Amino acid sequence: MAQTLRLSASSRLLSETSLHHHDDDTVLLDAYSNAVITANRKMQASIVHIDIRHKNQRGGSGSGFIFTPDGFILTNSHVVGRASTIRVTLIDGRQYDADLIGHDPDNDIAVVRIGVHDLLAAELGDSSRVQVGQLAIAIGSPYGFQSSVTAGVVSALGRSLRSQSGRLIDDVIQTDAALNPGNSGGPLVNSSGEVIGVNTAVILPAQGICFAIAINTAKIIAMQLIRDGRISRGYIGIGGQNISIPRFLVRTLNLESEKGLRVVSIELESPAQRAGILDGDVIVSYDHHRINGMDDLHKILTEKYIGISSTITVLRQSELKDLTITPVARK
């Protein structure tokens, strides 16, 4: 009899414990669901579907989001950059032809505009405050299924991604929120419904490795595109190859790195030619910034260096030479 009572008490305790865990799981699930639902509702009126046509009549589609009440829309450069016509569909079904304000293939950001006012703009967040593990929600129009929502977490921060132009995009957010064709250009938002990134790429055939351009980067690019219609970057007119420098030269010349950028071609009348750079020179620093390869040089040659004379240090045979170079705006 006592044994039966003990078993009965144990069974009741296990049942109560299981129920308690079930209640906890339900609370957590409801909190997760509510966060996604709330964020999605907040963003819905700002999401747009984008259809494009090329001169050869080929079409395509993508996503975007309104970020000013007077019709400016953020999306990807690879979605609209080469389009001959751009058609935007709002969540309520209204359709408008859009003008391409400008696009930046190097960062895969573009701005288009429709002639409508008093729109509900998305709230842009601060991507510098994003943390690994936090909720990430992707909203877009994959395969034309408008306003599709996927959710996951921020998997990593500070990634670099090679753009279609060949340059590296820095400070990219990695997430496992599923992206599909047509999601490109849509927003990645946090649990508060603030945009933290612009969805741009998925790694195939991997599962759950997707990328978004950090919104702080996108904001800077967008403002320049609205102001100038393009992004200005410095140009010096060389072709280069990333190389390793022999260790005995690194030690002898007290270099900071074993890597550099070998010049393999120089354009006529370019800043590099005027500076006296020669084929075979290895660029090791620019304005006292170490150059390990072409990506480092690209990072340096921003708008602020256009027209500014700086020191470029090259390794020529076994000697270091300081030359003066003045970049021009890239055409």
Active-site residue list: 78, 108, 184
Strand ranges (E), 194-309: 195-202, 210-214, 234-235, 238-244, 259-266, 282-286, 289-290
Q: Count CB atoms within 10 A of the CB of residue 269.
A: 7
Q: How far is CA 82 from CA 13, 105, 192, in A?
A: 66, 10, 34
Residues sharing a CB contact under 8 Å with residue 45, sequence separation 6 or more, in sequence order: 91, 119, 120
* 161, amino acid identity: L
The structure tokens 């120089």 sit at: 266
Terminal CA-CA length for the chain: 92
Q: What is the total residue count of the chain?
A: 331
Distance (Å, rounded) from C-alpha 188 to C-alpha 326? 39
What sign does the dihedral 76-200-123-46 (CA atoms) show? Answer: positive
If we measure between CA atoms, which residue out of 96, 40, 115, 48 comes closest to residue 75? 48
